[in-house]
A and B are shown apart, each in its own frame.
Chain A
């Protein structure tokens, strides 16, 4: 189990306990805790509806070309933008802190 902090769009912080042995990603974790993340495409880096910002300085694997391409369809993209579905929960992500990105209309 690792602990992850998610800041929602109202600025409220949520501490989430996350298993690392279930092949879960951040999008799925947020949905499991009923945080407002759509995950329209089911985690295939195809819809950008799980856009979030990485606030802590964890060493994440580089974004794939698919992920970079799909971030083009997101708005408010910053240098720390990632798609939650592409962040796989592993032990070295203990203490990760992310903020959910605003959604367009």
Chain B
């Protein structure tokens, strides 16, 4: 492998049902920053069936170039044809960096692709930057410049590690959704579009999709909410979530919850914040009756303002809260909702 042959920042533009996933635009945004630091371009790799029309949207969010791999075999996500698509694109176009979303699709696809092309893959990154490796010069060891430094939490969020991939290309990472910022949309902006099809011949690794069952869900995506009113086991019962829903309604927010609440069957999994749920960073995060286990904190600590209400003054949530109130949520919440209603009505 001649590392010098590998140029440019590529991102996997995940789409589902021919709608771009939020992570696709987040990766284009981050990829653009990295490309700027390297003096190169960001290329979005769009894989699916009949997806070409999405190239314009990727361009408007900052993609300089879009490679479209369009084939009927790619209509619904399956590991093998998608892995073949990405591995072929990498072998053909030789990017120095390749980013994939750490979604259910990306965390299945990324390892398969990295293993096929023999490079490193860093999982679930929360920070990416261009820098030197080793970070500080070490006598007798060459310090490499313009390396991708990939930072990620490990050990259940207790430690944080920065990883490099100095000797293999592309440098690959899966990136946690909701962490990177998409760039502002520039209407009418165009990208260079390249069609590429490596050919898809089913083999033993192709699985057959017998059925696709979509969960019918009318709940708002908690990752898009500006205000989240999140409840934990301390809320006491599913019925008592009414108090949180009322507060959320007054503020135009959304209700979310901790893992304990999902495990107890009080709320569905798509409302769960935390390491095994979703990562959120709203403007305001209310943590109501949430003790604040490290796995939960990992999913919400980037919120702009964290307000915690808990009757247990030793609850670890107070260690990350900007404003912590030791008190009874059953008394505070109804009064808070009424007061806010009056405040907003008087504006």
Chain A bound to chain B: no
Q: Which A residues are within 8 Å of any B CB, using their own CB?
A: none
